[in-house]
């Protein structure tokens, strides 16, 4: 069930006590009572909810870095707080690694940030382009399925083609030095874009981890979706997207999506992108 993802801020209520908003029709409103939505990176509201209602909380689910809204990094200690509070109150911690998984570390964001959840959801990078998704978890959690206490059946479960794709992808990603090489390409692109924007006098924050990031056109930090909604200039991003497209570089058109440096990108691609960005940013600076 999809709740409170890029919804109308007016409907989402106060940021300290957000109101869950279904992200489309067909979601029974009764489910609202089973859900608490919190503002990301807000240590106090999370601690307060766990202190008041921790014993009722079955699980806390989040992306370990929010890549479903551009790129938003966890502030130092935030994931650790989620881990320690869930452990304290006997709730499960679920990391949605559908985007973060395998992108900048083979062990996902949990390896990168060194915070281990109880359950992980994976897809996208898992199959190297093949349509496949998976969940994993601690032995204790997964034994619920293994011992038949929960039925997890489905047409495409353990589909051989998907499993072969996952196996091949995992072998490829095990090549020593592969992630360092790709992350370094990404860091060079990110720092190049930051310097070019600074030189052009355009407020930009390039946020992410190596191979996945986003260019926020904002002069204030983006700590959660509401910050992005309020401060990340959509109009200027659209202009940037169009200027880059004209110069042969295709980014995602939405300022709430991301930019990926994948295994097929070369150093020459990074150079070309930076050359195009210098021209695109100059045009944006002239027309602001």
Ligand X SMILES: Cc1ncc(COP(=O)(O)O)c(C=O)c1O
Task: Point out which residues bind ligand X (CB under 6 A).
Answer: 63, 68, 96, 98-99, 123, 133
Residue 52 Cα distances to 46, 62, 88, 101, angstroms? 10, 20, 13, 32
Q: Is the Cβ of residue 125 or residue 192 nearer to ligand X in the bound state?
A: 125
Minimum gap (Å) between residue 252 Cβ and ligand X? 12
Query: 29 near 22, Cβ under 8 Å?
Result: yes
How does DSSP classify residue 139? H
CA 179, 180, 184, 187 dihedral sign is positive
Q: Is the Cβ of residue 68 or residue 273 nearer to ligand X in the bound state?
A: 68
Minimum gap (Å) between residue 188 Cβ and ligand X? 26
Distance CA 272, CA 275 (A): 5
Minimum gap (Å) between residue 225 Cβ and ligand X? 13
Minimum gap (Å) between residue 62 Cβ and ligand X? 10
Distance CA 253, CA 235 (A): 11
Minimum gap (Å) between residue 253 Cβ and ligand X? 16
> Among candidates 138, 134, 140, which has minimal Cα distance to 121?
134
Minimum gap (Å) between residue 96 Cβ and ligand X? 5
Query: 76 near 84, Cβ under 8 Å?
Result: no
Give buried/exposed letters for 92-122 (b at 16+ CB in 10 A, else e): bbbbbbbbbbbbbbeebbbebbebebbbbbb
Q: Is the Cβ of residue 163 or residue 283 nearer to ligand X in the bound state?
A: 163
Q: Is the Cβ of residue 169 or residue 273 nearer to ligand X in the bound state?
A: 169
Distance CA 37, CA 54 (A): 14
Q: Is the Cβ of residue 121 or residue 218 nearer to ligand X in the bound state?
A: 121
Q: Is the Cβ of residue 123 or residue 278 nearer to ligand X in the bound state?
A: 123
């Amino acid at each position: 069930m999809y709740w409170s993802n890029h919804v109308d801020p007016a409907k989402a209520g106060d940021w300290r006590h957000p109101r869950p908003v279904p992200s489309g029709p067909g979601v029974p409103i009764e489910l609202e009572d089973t859900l608490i939505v919190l503002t990301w990176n807000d240590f106090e509201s999370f601690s307060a909810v766990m202190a008041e209602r921790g014993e009722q909380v079955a699980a806390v689910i989040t992306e370990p870095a929010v890549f479903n809204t551009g790129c938003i990094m966890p502030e130092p200690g935030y994931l650790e707080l989620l881990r320690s509070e869930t452990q304290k109150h006997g709730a499960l911690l679920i990391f949605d690694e559908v985007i973060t998984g395998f992108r900048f570390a083979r062990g996902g964001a949990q390896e990168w940030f060194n915070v281990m959840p109880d359950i992980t959801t994976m897809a996208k990078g898992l199959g190297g382009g093949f349509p496949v998704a998976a969940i994993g978890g601690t032995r204790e959690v997964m034994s619920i399925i293994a011992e038949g206490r929960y039925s997890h059946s489905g047409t495409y479960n353990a589909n051989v083609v998907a499993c072969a794709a996952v196996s091949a992808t995992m072998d490829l990603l095990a090549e020593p030095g592969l992630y360092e090489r790709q992350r370094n390409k990404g860091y060079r692109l990110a720092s190049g874009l930051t310097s070019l924007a600074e030189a052009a006098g355009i407020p930009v924050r390039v946020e992410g981890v190596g191979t996945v990031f986003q260019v926020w056109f904002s002069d204030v930090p983006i700590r959660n979706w509401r910050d992005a909604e309020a401060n990340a200039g959509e109009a200027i991003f659209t202009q940037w997207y169009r200027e880059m497209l004209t110069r042969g570089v295709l980014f995602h058109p939405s300022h709430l999506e991301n930019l990926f440096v994948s295994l097929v990108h070369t150093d020459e691609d990074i150079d070309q992108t930076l050359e195009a960005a210098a021209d695109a940013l100059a045009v944006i600076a002239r027309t602001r």
